[in-house]
Amino acid sequence: MTQGKKLELKCKKCGQTQKYHVNELIAEESKIALIIGLLIFLVGTPLTVYWLWGYLFKVALIYSTITIAALIGVPLTIFTLIERGQREKVSRFNSFKLNE
């Protein structure tokens, strides 16, 4: 809004600069956010299990099963929230168009 209806953007491949109307721009999901979420899941789950390994099998079997499911669920939930947030931001940006 502060930059007007036309933006001057430079192509990353060829280096050419050109003006684009804001309705021509399309957002894409950030690969970095998805990689961070995936790393949280892949690293967070084993680390959490490692830290709590001694406590897992001291209690009854049902509590161990619930604990393991929760340990896997927390990093998975974080990854899912990051991925869903990215998808919603892209969808909102791409669905909004300015009237001429």
In tens, the pLDDT along 13-63 reads: 888 888 888 788 788 887 887 788 788 778 877 887 777 777 666 666 677
Mapping DSSP to helix (H, G, I), strand (E, B) and coil, where does residue 81 land?
A: helix
Mapping DSSP to helix (H, G, I), strand (E, B) and coil, where does residue 76 land?
A: helix
pLDDT classification of 88: cutoffs 50, 70, 90: very high
CB atoms within 10 A of CB 75: 21
**E strand segments, the chain:** 6-10, 17-21
Tokens encoding 14: 């060829």
Mapping DSSP to helix (H, G, I), strand (E, B) and coil, where does residue 41 land?
A: helix
Tokens encoding 2: 């502060």
* Residues constituting the chain: 100
